[in-house]
Amino acid sequence: MAKQNKKGIKSKMILERANTKPDVEFHYTPEELVKYCLSLLNFEKEDVVLDVGAGKNMVWYNNIKIAKKDFCEIELGKDFFEYKEDVDWCIGNPPFKFLWKMMEKSFEISNKGVAFLMAIDGINRFTPKRLEYIKSKGFYINKIAIVNCKKWFGRYFFVIFTKKPNNFFEWSLLNYGDTKLNSEGKFFLSQP
């Protein structure tokens, strides 16, 4: 089958799906995927775990097998940005639009870990400056589980941050495109 035809069929399928299912259902995380992601987290018995944007389906919240759990959901009148308590973990599938803002708040209120499911655009938000910020809050990317969800757009990433230091991820704050010529006609990197 010609490449373009395949693409056309895929677009048609996505459109059909979007037209037949309510948008909100489309964004809900499949329960088996939630269970897999949660299985990667080592909660301790007394930990307080917060689902930052539970959705009306509460699929993450309902699968957290621990006594001290809580949730936020704007549509149920619980705005994460107004959450006042400290917790041990912030977890879930945050809305893409507020992903970084929610991560920032999560690093403020979590004692042990932050674990969010995100698309590649989410990964792309880890600029060196933000990674530096995350480190300044005492968190490190500890694990990234790569998962498929073909009802969405393919590959997704469950990113787990904990306070266990590691130097697996490295970054530089320099802008390597920012070069100048010196008096000898050689390029050098101008510092920020």
Q: Cβ(161)–Cβ(142) under 8 Å?
A: yes
Q: With binding defined as CB under 6 A, does residue 81 bind ligand SAM?
A: yes
For the bound state, the minimum distance from the C-beta of residue 141 to ligand SAM, rounded and expressed in Å, comes to 21
The binder of ligand SAM chosen from 38, 50, 60, 110 (CB under 6 A): 60
Q: Cβ(60)–Cβ(70) under 8 Å?
A: no
The binder of ligand SAM chosen from 27, 129, 151, 163 (CB under 6 A): 27
- Point out the residue whose Cβ comes nearest to ligand SAM: 53
The angle at the Cα of 80, spanning 26 to 105, to the nearest 5 degrees, equals 110
Nearest CA to 67 out of 44, 85, 84, 90 is that of: 44
For the bound state, the minimum distance from the C-beta of residue 54 to ligand SAM, rounded and expressed in Å, comes to 5
Q: With binding defined as CB under 6 A, does residue 98 bind ligand SAM?
A: yes
Q: Cβ(116)–Cβ(103) under 8 Å?
A: yes
Amino acid identity, position 16: E
Q: With binding defined as CB under 6 A, does residue 95 bind ligand SAM?
A: yes
Q: What single-letter DSSP state applies at residue 175?
A: -
Interface residues with ligand SAM (CB under 6 A) are: 27-29, 53-55, 57, 59-60, 72-75, 79-81, 92-93, 95, 98
